[in-house]
Amino acid sequence: MSLTPTVLVLIAALAAAGLANWRERRPREPGQVPLISHAAIQMVALVVALLMAAHLVSLLTGHPLVGRLTR
């Protein structure tokens, strides 16, 4: 994945996390259960944003990110 799609996915994930956060904080009428867990959507979007940020760092520096256990 090149730079442009990485940045676009990062922006989309941050927007989805922000929208889910806003929807989670809105007051609900008693007895109404949301169809979608906005907290779960927010967590998935934050994981995607974190992965895209790590990929963006590896694209900009030219060095792939390796784990601690990789030698």
Note whether residue 67 is domain-resident.
Answer: no
Give the residue, 71 or 54, on which the prediction is more confident: 54
Asked if the model's pLDDT at residue 70 lies above 80, the reply is: no
Quote the domain boundaries for residue 54. Answer: 3-27+35-61
Measure the CA angle with vertex 63, ends 61 and 64; round to 5°: 125
Note whether residue 11 is domain-resident.
Answer: yes
Note whether residue 21 is domain-resident.
Answer: yes
The 10s digit of each residue's pLDDT in 6-58 is 999 999 999 999 999 999 998 888 888 888 889 999 999 999 999 999 999 99
Note whether residue 69 is domain-resident.
Answer: no
Residue of 36, 14, 12 lying closest to 23 (CA atoms): 36
Note whether residue 66 is domain-resident.
Answer: no
What's the confidence (pLDDT) of residue 71? 63
Q: How confident is the model at residue 68 (pLDDT cuts 50, 70, 90)?
A: confident
In order of 7, 53, 55, the CA distances from 4 in angstroms are 5, 13, 12
What's the confidence (pLDDT) of residue 49? 97
What is the tally of structural domains in the chain? Answer: 1
